[in-house]
Each structure stands twice: as C-alpha cells, then as structure tokens.
Amino acid sequence: MILAAAACAEGKGSPPPELMLGWEMERFHALPEPGGLRDQIAGEMMRCRAVLNVYGAFQAFRGSRNWAAWSKSNQSQWAIVSQVTELREAHGRQ
C-alpha cells in the first residue's frame, strides 16, 4: 500500500484502496463508518493517514525543481521520501 501510494504520486500506478478512502474522507470531511474515530475499522485510519502522507510527500518532491533545497526546507516530507526509497530498494532485492 505504501509503495503503491508512492507510485501513484509519480504517475506510475493506480491509487491503493486506502488512498482512495483517504481522499473521500478529506473531500467529504467524514469518516467511512458511523460513529467517531474509535468506531472505525481497526487500523484503517492509520493506513489511510500513512498513504496520504506518502502521496503528499511524493507529490511535493516531484513538483520541486531543486531537490536539494526542497529536502532541506521540507525535512519531514523528505524523511518520508527517503524511507520509501529505502523500502523500494529493499523490496527490489527480495
């Protein structure tokens, strides 16, 4: 799901279901299930938040013209891009 979100942000794949759900929640300002945050399916909100963060970081990184300057001024997003890049490399070796 994380790698799929990064690939989607780069225009190289379809959004994973968690990303599509995250977009719907943002668009409609609503949770997917009735009730509050704790009434949601276990782990679903964390997965949605993770893929939204990955997608956003990769979109920002992709849109930057000066990656070195961007990485210095966007350290939290750069950390996400770096970690996902390492994950891709590790996944490619398996």
Q: What is the pLDDT of residues 41-94, one digit of tens each?
A: 999 999 999 999 999 999 999 988 898 999 999 999 999 999 999 999 998 854
Nearest to 80 by CA among 89, 71, 68: 71
On whether the pTM is more than 0.85, the answer is: yes
CA gap 38, 66 in Å, rounded: 41
Single-letter amino acid, residue 71: S
Interval 29-45: pLDDT, tens: 999 999 998 999 999 99
* Mean pLDDT value across residues 6-28: 97
- Which residue from 76, 37, 39, 38 is spatially nearest to 54, judged by alpha carbons? 76
